[in-house]
Structure 1
Amino acid sequence: MNQSRRIMRLPEVISATGYKRSSIYLFMDRGEFPRCRRIGPRAVGWDSLEIENWVAEKLEGRK
């Protein structure tokens, strides 16, 4: 992974995690997934480093 920090949109987050939209938002509500940030009037995005770290933790078996 270790790419430069960037904004990931939902389709890319879905691809990186293997979870669909509803699961991602459910995990966010539970505090178990990185929060999205508003990047425009009708757009949100995720910090790529936060998503990469979350995926790495899951692969290592950590919560």
Structure 2
Amino acid sequence: MKHHGLGSRREGDGVAIARSDGPPRPVPHSNILRLPAVKTRTGLGKSTIYLLIKKKRFPQQVVLSTRAVGWYEHDIDDWARSRRNAAK
């Protein structure tokens, strides 16, 4: 298989994405954000993100490998949108 570099993603690329809350699911048409990007987008720190995940008030991360996790961009966008709507 040809390596396309870090962060590159082609439609149909099927790296096995396992969720820590259940069996692997098909990769939706969404980019995967790593923790620094999630922190920037949400304004939250690492500890707060993981606390909210534990309380089921933040999107669950997806397991990328044994030492890497990420979040679907659409999940983070939906979460941020719901927070804005709740503040109205």
Q: Which has the higher helix share?
A: 1
Aligned to 2:60: 35
Aligned residues: 59
Taking structure 1 as the reference length, the TM-score comes to 0.88
**Quick one: distance in 2 between partners of 1:54 and 1:41?**
26
Q: Share of identical aligned residues, percent?
A: 34
The residue that corresponds to 1:58 in the other structure is 83
Distance 2:62 2:85 in 1: 26
Query: Which amino acid in the other structure matches residue 66 of structure 2?
Result: P
Q: In structure 2, what is the equivalent of residue 15 of structure 1?
A: 40
Structure with larger RCO (C-alpha < 8 A, sep 6+)? 1
- Name stretches of at least 5 consecutive residues in structure 2 with no aligned partner: 1-28
If the length of structure 2 is used for normalisation, what is the TM-score?
0.64
